[in-house]
Amino acid sequence: MGKNVIVGQSGGPTSVINSSLAGVYEASCRLGAEHVYGMLHGVQGLLAGKYVDLKEKLKSGLDVELLKRTPSSYLGSCRYKLPDWKDDPEPYEKLMELCKELDIGYFMYIGGNDSMDTIGKLADYGAHVGSDIRFMGVPKTIDNDLMVTDHTPGYGSAAKYISVVIKELIRDASVYGTKYVTVVEIMGRNAGWLTAAAALARGADSEGVDIICLPEVPFDMDKFLAKVAKVQESKPSVVVAVSEGVKLADGRYVCELSDSAHATDAFGHKNLTGTASYLCGVIGEKLDTKTRAIELSTLQRCAAHIASLTDIEEAYAVGAAAANAAFDGHTGEMVALKRVSDVPYRCVTELHPISDVANLEKKVPLEWLNEDKTDMLPAFLDYARPLVDGELTPVYVNGLTTHIYLPEV
């Protein structure tokens, strides 16, 4: 059996996916791996023979600390969908050959739903050909839409960024005391976890957002406009948090109503942007108010400068737990987080079969929304608050946060 580890990162970046890489790396080193290889740009890059030896790249404890503070995927990423191995075994054969050359015993893949599809297929193929390589999935996604896990690493930091900047935008938008509607567009194709996090902004020091629109709730333009107008009767500055993925009752995305073209990616997902801008256009046309559309865009998935410490630590923990499980002989499983205590908040890691996770989506429970589905109830706030808690001080040099990166990515 191989003695070395290979680890890859896949799918959209997060602020803490590198903390999971740090967890896999340091645990693998402690477990005696001679080499910990990092595939560049996930399995797609590995198929092209691209990888690095992480012990040659992460040379000190400081490098690992910077890694934990560096957003996006240190090893690069891919959006590559493996074919069914029964239809096309060629990429599988190639990957197995590469693993044999590198004497790989443990294969770790950090990613979201689509990446769990990849690791699940590899584990299936491995079992089919009698490979003794252990394949483990490490969860990652700002979207928080993975099944079986209490939440996903990456979510807490994005949620913290969203609620912190929305608090700032609320202050900014009220400054003239004039009628003004700010629509903040937040990521989330089918699951509104990130948009729901905007509800955290409300508190003794902030009026909070006035309307939240999740993709789980069919979007009704007339009701929406009526609600905006109603709120504005008593409060000139109205702040709306809207998911990029809000859909009409007929299933069309609201952003599809605008003129911009919308491409699709390798997994068939539509490129969703322009929701806030479209809504501002309609609001400006129908109501007597100024508007401003703000897209948090990729800023929300890479804002490592304000990452949640809880998130960084949990991202590290799931990475380390995957290495531990693989060395213990587990394969075809994903590490999940299980909340074992609310007060004080405490999560532990546990293992689940990949098949319980891959290609499935966890949505926001509708019972966590208020009656007219425009605000989050305390059940959600209690769920989300611990996930944004704590800060890991960035390493500032000349006033700017410091990262570590691989020029070969």
Among positions 56, 87, 101, 205, the unique one binding its own copies when judged by CB under 8 A: 205
Among positions 5, 21, 47, 169, the unique one binding its own copies when judged by CB under 8 A: 169
Cβ atoms within 10 A of the Cβ of 246, count? Answer: 24
Nearest distance in Å: CB 155, its own copies: 13
C-beta separation of 306 from 393 below 8 A? no
Residue 8 β-bridge partners: 109
Among the listed residues 114, 117, 143, 145, the single catalytic one is 143
Residue whose CB is less far from its own copies, 36 or 162? 162
What distance in Å separates the CA atoms of residue 64 and residue 57, rounded to the nearest whole number? Answer: 10
Q: How far apart are CA 24 and CA 6, in angstroms?
A: 9
Neighbours of 97 (CB within 10 A): 10
Provide, rounded to whole angstroms, the least separation between the CB of residue 112 and its own copies: 14
Stretch binding its own copies (CB under 8 A), from 40-48, 118-126, 320-328, 366-374: 40-48
Please report whether residue 409 would count as binding its own copies according to CB under 8 A.
Answer: yes
The residue among 402, 357, 323, 375 whose CA lies nearest residue 25 is 323
- Applying CB under 8 A, what is the total number of residues that bind its own copies? 62
User: What x-and-dash track marks residues 123-162 binding its own copies by CB under 8 A?
Assistant: -------------------------------------x--
Packing angle, helices 309-327 and 17-30, rounded to 10: 40
Near its own copies in 74-93, by CB under 8 A: 76-79
- Residue 286 class from Cβ within 10 Å (0-12 exposed, 13-18 middle, 19+ buried)? middle
According to CB under 8 A, which residues from 280 to 319 bind its own copies? 292, 294-295, 297-299, 301-306, 308, 310
Applying CB under 8 A, the span of 38-46, 84-92, 323-331, 346-354 interacting with its own copies comes to: 38-46
Out of 148, 164, 248, 377, point to the residue binding its own copies (CB under 8 A).
Answer: 164
- Contacting residues for 153 by C-beta, under 8 A, at least 6 apart: 14, 16, 17, 19, 20, 139, 140, 311, 314, 315, 318, 337
Q: Least distance to its own copies from the beta carbon of 51, Å?
A: 13
Report the interhelical angle of 61-68 vs 17-30 (nearest 10°): 150
Give the angle subtended at the CA of 355 by the CAs of 349 and 360, to the nearest 5°: 90
Token code pair at residue 49: 């023979």
Name the amino acid, one letter, at 361: E
Q: Looking at 22-30, 89-97, 104-112, 399-407, which segment touches its own copies (CB under 8 A)?
A: 399-407
Within 8 A by CB and 6+ apart from 309, the residues are: 389, 390, 391, 392
Nearest approach, Cβ of residue 35 and its own copies (Å) = 23
Q: How far is the CB of 15 from its own copies (least distance, A)?
A: 8
Phi, psi of 353 (to 5 degrees): -60, 140
Q: Which stretch binds its own copies (CB under 8 A): 107-115, 222-230, 371-379, 390-398?
A: 390-398
- Asked if omega into 344 is within 30° of 0 (cis), the reply is yes
Q: Segment 232-291, which members bind its own copies (CB under 8 A)?
A: none
Instruction: Determine whether 114 is an active site residue.
Output: no
| Closer residue to its own copies, CB minimum distance, 187 or 321 | 187
**Strand pairing report for 134-139 and 180-186:** unpaired
The answer to whether 381 and 133 are in contact (CB under 8 A) is no
Q: Give the residue, chosen from 196, 198, 200, 358, that forms a contact with its own copies under the rule CB under 8 A.
A: 200
For residue 302, the minimal CB distance to its own copies (Å) is 4
∠ at Cα 122 (85, 149), nearest 5°? 130
Closer CB to its own copies, 360 or 400, in the complex:
400
Could you tell me the smallest distance in angstroms from the CB atom of residue 249 to its own copies?
A: 29
Identify residues 46-75 at the interface with its own copies (CB under 8 A).
Answer: 66, 70-73
* CB-nearer residue toward its own copies: 273 or 355: 273
Residue 12 is encoded by which pair of tokens? 């959209």
CB of 234 to its own copies, least distance (A): 12
- Contacts with 196 (C-beta within 8 Å, 6 or more apart), sequence order: 212, 214, 364, 368, 376, 380, 384
Interface with its own copies (CB under 8 A) = 13, 40-41, 45, 66, 70-73, 76-79, 160, 163-165, 167-169, 171-177, 200-201, 203, 205-206, 292, 294-295, 297-299, 301-306, 308, 310, 385, 388-391, 396-405, 409
Q: Annotated catalytic sites, by residue?
A: 143
